[in-house]
Amino acid sequence: MEIKDLSDNTGEWLRGTGKESDIVISSRIRLARNIAGYPFLSRANFKQRREIESLLRKTIIERKIAQDVSYVNLNQATAIDKLFLVERHLISKEHAEGEGERGVAFGKSETVSLMINEEDHLRIQVIRSGFELKSTWDTIDEIDNILGEHLSFAFSSRFGFLTACPTNVGTGMRVSVMLHLPALGMTKHIEKVFNAVGKLGLVVRGLYGEGTKVSGDLYQISNQFALGKSEKEILSIIESVIPRITSYERMARKALVMESKDQLEDRIWRSYGMLKAARMITSEEILQLLSQVRMGVNIGLIDDIEMQTLNELFVLTLPAHLQKLQGCELDSTQRNVIRASYVRKRLDGL
């Protein structure tokens, strides 16, 4: 499959289905694994790197880890293709910016992605729409078991799965739940959530993970510790926290509707109007507009847009996606024009 075939659809995790999908965009789990008998990547030479890549690629493809697996060799991919894969959450920024033999395998639905030679030899990722940690874990656990039968992972009974960075050692697991929290953001209550979450050893990050800023009121809650607790325990901590945050967000939305209905509605309708009529929209502005309109749909103010369409627009209007869609490189002004026209088309605008 060619990367361009992907550019006008999105992964299943953006469908807007699953539990609490009005607030929980996605549930994601990743496992870090390394092959025993090889150094970690910072110390691997060219030959070892190639051997690791080839061993993992062949095992993944032979074991049919996901349906219709595609493999992209990132060492040969163009800058736009790499950015495109980052925007779809199929690879990380670090993986895109890395060097040497490396690649990514992903299934047709884009639920499963396996990054080879990222920070660790292998990063397995499963991402689903809505608050669906249980089924996400079941899928990734099975993949890990299948691969673990055919590959020998670096492991010690004291420290668990051994990883290049000691922050991931143990389970090698990071669970991230992506939340849309516009009302908590607007009322500044989000700070309280950060504090409470921090006390449980969890962290809040922006849309694209570590070190990225929060935009479009999208937040990722994830675990910081990976050792000393089993996978199930880590999952249950996050599983118990998320419903509290979502009900807090719902309360904040209700309060906004009660206390400042006119301002809120004005803000949402203006955003909708902009999306339908603007001729140029920057990548930052669109996140804000989509966030407002998404809340408008959730509180029942707007009823003529599908949640899936809105979720998808968060990704489809990103720079690399617009360039893929257009089939050529675009500067930022051109992108702003194309972005606005694409959104107008999708929303039957003016």
Min dist CB 201 to another protein, Å, is 7
The one-letter code for the residue type at 92 is: S
Binding mask 16-55 for another protein (x = CB under 8 A): ------------------x-x-xxx-xx------------
Angle at 206 between CA 135 and CA 17, to 5 degrees: 35
Interface with another protein, residue 161, by CB under 8 A: yes
Interface with another protein, residue 137, by CB under 8 A: no
Among the listed residues 50, 93, 108, 229, the single contact to another protein using CB under 8 A:
229
Tokens 């325990």 locate to 233
Report helix, strand or coil for 43.
helix
Neighbours of 142 (CB within 10 A): 12
Binding mask 263-302 for another protein (x = CB under 8 A): ----------------------------------------
Nearer to another protein, 203 or 299 (CB): 203
Query: Rounded to whole angstroms, how far apart are CA atoms 263 and 78?
Result: 45
Interface with another protein, residue 157, by CB under 8 A: yes
Interaction residues for another protein, span 189-228 (CB under 8 A): 201, 224-228
Query: Rounded to whole angstroms, how far apart are CA atoms 82 and 75?
Result: 10
Q: Crossing angle for the helix pair 133-150 and 46-62, nearest 10 degrees?
A: 110
Cα torsion 88, 90, 95, 96: sign: negative
Interaction residues for another protein, span 170-189 (CB under 8 A): 170-171, 173
Q: Crossing angle for the helix pair 319-326 and 307-316, nearest 10 degrees?
A: 90
Interface with another protein, residue 100, by CB under 8 A: no
- Residue 301: C-alpha distances to residues 253, 262, 278 (Å): 12, 12, 21
Among the listed residues 230, 236, 263, 333, the single contact to another protein using CB under 8 A:
230
Nearer to another protein, 172 or 185 (CB): 172
Interface with another protein, residue 148, by CB under 8 A: yes
Query: Rounded to whole angstroms, how far apart are CA atoms 149 and 123?
Result: 17
Min dist CB 346 to another protein, Å, is 42
The token pair that represents 36 in the structure block? 């025993």
Nearer to another protein, 116 or 154 (CB): 154
Where on the chain is the footprint of another protein (CB under 8 A)? 34, 36, 38-40, 42-43, 119, 141, 144-150, 152-162, 164-167, 169-171, 173, 201, 224-231, 233
